[in-house]
Amino acid sequence: MKDFIKLQEERIKNAILSLGYSVDIVKLNVSSMPDLGDYQFNGVMSLAKEHKKNPRDIANEIVEKLDKSDIEKISVDGPGFINITFKNDALINYFNDYNLTPYNKNNIKVVIDYGGPNVAKTLHVGHLRSANIGEALKRLAIFLGYDVTSDIHLGDFGRPLGLVILELKKRHPEWVYFDENYNGEYPSEDVVTNKELEEIYPYASNKAKEDEEYLEEARIITTKLQKKEKGYYDLWKNIVNVSIKNIKYLYDKLNVSFDLWKGESDADEFIDDVINYLRNNKYTRISEGAEIIDVSLPDDKLEIPPLLLVKSNDSVSYETTDLATIWDRVHSINPDEIWYVVDNRQSLHFEQVFRTCYKSKIVNENVKLEHLGFGTMNGKDGRPFKTRDGSVMTLENLITIVRDETIKKINSNYSNEERETIADALSIAALKYADLLPVRSTDYIFDVEKFCDLNGKTGVYLLYSIVRMNSLIKKVNDNNINYNSIKMLNNKQDRDILIKLLQVESVLSKSMEEKSLNYITDYLYQLAKVYNTFYDSNKVLIEENKDLRESWIVITTKVVDVMTKLTNLLGIDIPDKI
């Protein structure tokens, strides 16, 4: 079914065209002055300029010509704004047929690269946003008809792993992994725990900073690992498995999942292909012993340094790994777009990689490579959020802090078990909602009281609202209600709900256009708020007028349906009760 607002926009466009004016896109905006109308059309000014006429005159001509079958009241105000109020019947008819449903397939193939945790390193607050934003964009894109492949792109093949293996070798020199003459099977059970890994990596990394010899040993082991040398490579597989279990456990809590669990190690086999291709086609040059690719362009405002393909010590860079990953994706998936949901601070990296890809035709120019950068979650001091003693805050700790706050809000009559389950849902909702609320590229401040405020723009408020609507619907003991039939509206409050519901499709497309979830989080808040205003002053279940009571129940189900679907797009689960 055609979106109601799109239909009205089309009618305006038809009126304009039939008057002989030219127009491309007609956009109706939610009214900034609701007393004047539900929506307004502000496009007359530019038409007037183009055709050198008085805007009010044009506005009046449009109003005259317009198909006004769904319009109750229309006026030309100010210099030439057209304000429109829709007929209640038109709204009712529309919503009686309306259901928010996934869009038809659009055949656009997208790979979304997000998460990007590093194996054997603790997941920390810095990993929160990529996972949340990436997951929500994935769900939104699928809903809107894209053909999506999500890929976690683990950091699993670099120096950190070399360091961890070296330290394990120091601690357990007797392990079969380090015995060159060993010919048997390697252990199939985990050889370390995640807890040990969390201790080992920082230890080894600090030691390497002070101890040149240790660092050199780690380098050698890293090279052996990358050459997939027996023993080292087998130990690596074991470590990766341990680490992935923990990553899965935490991402599960956040409702984050992936189609592909590939990593940098999977790109390794394409590195030679990429380097040879770039070399053979003369895109590289040697500078100070390293092999680089120039990517700066004449009108760059900021100098973009060359991409470092092969370092002077013969090892490859983070950029090379990403080139090889793109090589793999192009050959195995052939996507139309690749989206990278990665911290803003990596923008130079992606600029260099993308430029290299286009310049060398590793991807063709129709393929869209896009870095969707995001801002940092900061502490109240404006710096990346840390623990009280100044060390990195783990993701698990962060979730616990929010959980401790949300559990306070739960009905104390519930059993402990019930409270625990609800606290899980509430804390994830609070955290994810707060994380998706700001415009993608901006920083925000971690403020647990604010995130869990029962009456604020929060995931907690959202879930409370939905749970309350659901419980209202559950209490309806009338099997004869036709859930597709709103029969009447009675006041401003019930009408305001339908007016707010009109926005949903444009909110989804705006979010996709800008690849930012803030439009959805904000809209959910507004929708909950209009509904709650209605709910607070109307007694739905005991309303005596049967038609009105049923209409209100149907409206409630429509709101719940939209809110549930949008909440799900954000990756937030709704508990049965709070």
Q: Site residues (CB under 6 A) for ligand ARG?
A: 113, 116, 118, 153, 155, 322, 325, 340, 342
Least distance (Å) between residue 343 CB and ligand ARG: 7
> Would you give the DSSP letter of residue 384?
B
Residue with tokens 């928010």: 100
Least distance (Å) between residue 30 CB and ligand ARG: 37
Least distance (Å) between residue 101 CB and ligand ARG: 33
Looking at the Cβ atoms of 328 and 550, the one nearer to ligand ARG is 328
Looking at the Cβ atoms of 153 and 468, the one nearer to ligand ARG is 153
Dist. CA 536–CA 491, nearest whole Å: 13
Is residue 127 within 8 Å of residue 117, measured between CB atoms?
Answer: yes
Q: Give the CB-side neighbour count of residue 37, counting CA atoms within 13 A.
A: 21
Looking at the Cβ atoms of 320 and 521, the one nearer to ligand ARG is 320
Amino acid residing at 177:
Y
Cα first-last separation, the chain? 36
Contacts of 492 (CB under 8 A, 6+ apart): none
Is residue 247 within 8 Å of residue 123, measured between CB atoms?
Answer: yes
Least distance (Å) between residue 60 CB and ligand ARG: 55
Phi and psi of 111, rounded to 5°? -105, 130
Instruction: List the one residue out of 271, 263, 267, 309 whose CA is nearest residue 160.
Output: 263
Least distance (Å) between residue 392 CB and ligand ARG: 13
Q: Classify 550 as helix, strand or coil.
A: helix
Q: Classify 316 as helix, strand or coil.
A: strand
DSSP symbols for 131-165: HHHHHHHHHHHHHTT-EEEEE--BB-SSHHHHHHH
Least distance (Å) between residue 111 CB and ligand ARG: 10
> Would you give the DSSP letter of residue 104?
P
Looking at the Cβ atoms of 61 and 113, the one nearer to ligand ARG is 113
Looking at the Cβ atoms of 172 and 368, the one nearer to ligand ARG is 368
Looking at the Cβ atoms of 12 and 148, the one nearer to ligand ARG is 148
User: Which residues on adjacent β-strands are paired with residue 51?
Assistant: none
Looking at the Cβ atoms of 371 and 457, the one nearer to ligand ARG is 371
Looking at the Cβ atoms of 127 and 558, the one nearer to ligand ARG is 127
Structure tokens at 237: 């597989």
Helix (H) or strand (E) holding 469: helix 459-475
Residue with tokens 């607002």: 5
Sign, Cα dihedral of 84, 88, 90, 92:
positive
Looking at the Cβ atoms of 55 and 155, the one nearer to ligand ARG is 155
> Would you give the DSSP letter of residue 118?
B
Least distance (Å) between residue 153 CB and ligand ARG: 5
Least distance (Å) between residue 326 CB and ligand ARG: 9
How many C-beta atoms surround the C-beta of residue 478 within 10 A?
10
Looking at the Cβ atoms of 86 and 340, the one nearer to ligand ARG is 340
Looking at the Cβ atoms of 325 and 567, the one nearer to ligand ARG is 325
Least distance (Å) between residue 443 CB and ligand ARG: 17
Is residue 185 within 8 Å of residue 248, measured between CB atoms?
Answer: no
Dist. CA 519–CA 369, nearest whole Å: 23
Structure tokens at 529: 């708020």
Closest residue to ligand ARG, judged by C-beta, is 116
Least distance (Å) between residue 259 CB and ligand ARG: 15
Residue with tokens 């193939």: 109
8, 90, 228, 456, 461 from 529: Cα distances, Å: 26, 23, 58, 10, 9
User: Which residues on adjacent β-strands are paired with residue 147?
Assistant: 109
Least distance (Å) between residue 428 CB and ligand ARG: 22
Least distance (Å) between residue 340 CB and ligand ARG: 6
Least distance (Å) between residue 245 CB and ligand ARG: 18
Looking at the Cβ atoms of 262 and 558, the one nearer to ligand ARG is 262
Instruction: List the one residue out of 161, 170, 251 whose CA is nearest residue 201.
Output: 161
How many C-beta atoms surround the C-beta of residue 290 within 10 A?
17
Looking at the Cβ atoms of 330 and 342, the one nearer to ligand ARG is 342
Looking at the Cβ atoms of 395 and 548, the one nearer to ligand ARG is 395
Q: How many residues would you count in the chain? A: 578
Least distance (Å) between residue 155 CB and ligand ARG: 3
Is residue 114 within 8 Å of residue 515, measured between CB atoms?
Answer: no
